[in-house]
A and B are shown apart, each in its own frame.
Chain A
Amino acid sequence: MKTHRAVLRLSAIAGLALCGCATTPKTATEAIRNASNAVINAEDARAADYAAAEMRSAHEKLNAARALAAQITTDPNDPNRTKARWLAEEAAADAELADAKARKVRTQSVVRSLQPAPSAPIMPPAADLPVAPPPSVDLPVPDAPAPAPEVPAPESAPVPAAPTPDAPAAAPPATGV
């Protein structure tokens, strides 16, 4: 008795699930509205700066969908109806992807800018100063452990003999200024 009821319920669920493959409820107009909103959201997030190809595709497909929608006749079986809806759905998916990519890349670049430089794994610069704010100050420091250095001109004369080999990358910009 119990098992029969379970089988009955399962077969009903299976039947309903399979019926799902025949339904396509959304209209072209609704799809175009969704896509248009998705493109506007992505543009607001400046997604084109980070995902140019996806944004271009979104714009092209949305325009094509609008053009097709303008040609739709009163015939309910007009193929343009379906084509316009598909194009709009793809445009929305492109814009949402562009938006997500932009969010990812933007956050990752902020994280990278806040992380300590990977080229200086040795402790000294981190020990004397807070790491992030003055990155160029660590040049004159290594050979002057005492608080008062003898040479009082840190930015004009960073004598090339003094720097230790641990900061070769930072030297050129400091001398240039």
Chain B
Amino acid sequence: MNRPIRSLLRVGVLLSLTTLASCLFHGSVKDPGADKVSAELSQLQADPQLASRAPVALKEAQDAVAAAQVAQKDPAESAHLVYLADRKVQTARALAEARVAEDQLKALQGP
């Protein structure tokens, strides 16, 4: 086995473990609303009529939900991240529903 590769591997594993440890052990908490907003996002993603209608807004919602899932040291920051995630998920849903309505409108107005 190549020695430099083995030492690099060791450094990589060590780095990720220490980062994980620092995140886990500085007394951080996750807001109880984080799981609820994550479930709302899953519901939107599972809706065949809406899931693909607003891709950019949906990506923003996914990122915001992922951020809200990370435990924070300050509970106020957790609450803030959950608030943002909730708004982003609702925005993605509203935009997707708007696109559905726009398609219906086009169909009604005809070719």
A122–B15 alpha-carbon span in the complex (Å) = 72
Interface size of A as a range: 20 to 34
Residues of A within 8 A of B108 (CB): 111, 114-115
* A97 close to B94 (CB less than 8 A): yes
How many residues of chain B have a CB within 8 Å of chain A?
A: 34
From known contacts A18-B16, A21-B70, A93-B88, infer whether A11 and B105 are also in contact, taking CB-CB under 8 Å: no
**Shortest Cβ distance from residue B47 to the other chain A in the assembled complex, whole angstroms:** 15
Main secondary structure of the interface of A (DSSP, over half): helix
* A4 close to B5 (CB less than 8 A): yes
* A5 close to B94 (CB less than 8 A): no
A108–B95 alpha-carbon span in the complex (Å) = 12
A15 within 8 A of B: yes
* A90 close to B95 (CB less than 8 A): no
A75–B102 alpha-carbon span in the complex (Å) = 50
Spot the interface stretch: A98-106, A134-142, A145-153, A165-173. Answer: A98-106
B46 within 8 A of A: no
A19–B21 alpha-carbon span in the complex (Å) = 11
* A93 close to B94 (CB less than 8 A): no
From known contacts A5-B5, A18-B23, A93-B83, infer whether A110 and B70 are also in contact, taking CB-CB under 8 Å: no
* B87 close to A19 (CB less than 8 A): no
Q: Which parts of B79-99 form the interface with A (CB within 8 Å)?
A: 80, 83-84, 87-88, 90-91, 94-95, 97-98
Q: Which parts of B45-63 form the interface with A (CB within 8 Å)?
A: 57
* A111 close to B101 (CB less than 8 A): yes
A64–B13 alpha-carbon span in the complex (Å) = 45
* B5 close to A90 (CB less than 8 A): no
* A100 close to B91 (CB less than 8 A): yes
User: Which residues of B line the A interface, CB within 8 A?
Assistant: 1-2, 5-6, 8-9, 12-13, 15-16, 19-20, 23, 57, 70, 76-77, 80, 83-84, 87-88, 90-91, 94-95, 97-98, 101-102, 104-105, 108-109
5 pairs of residues in contact across A and B, judged by CB atoms under 8 Å: A1-B1, A5-B5, A12-B12, A103-B94, A110-B101
| Given pairs A96-B91, A107-B101, 5 additional interface contacts (CB within 8 A) | A8-B9, A11-B9, A18-B16, A97-B94, A104-B95
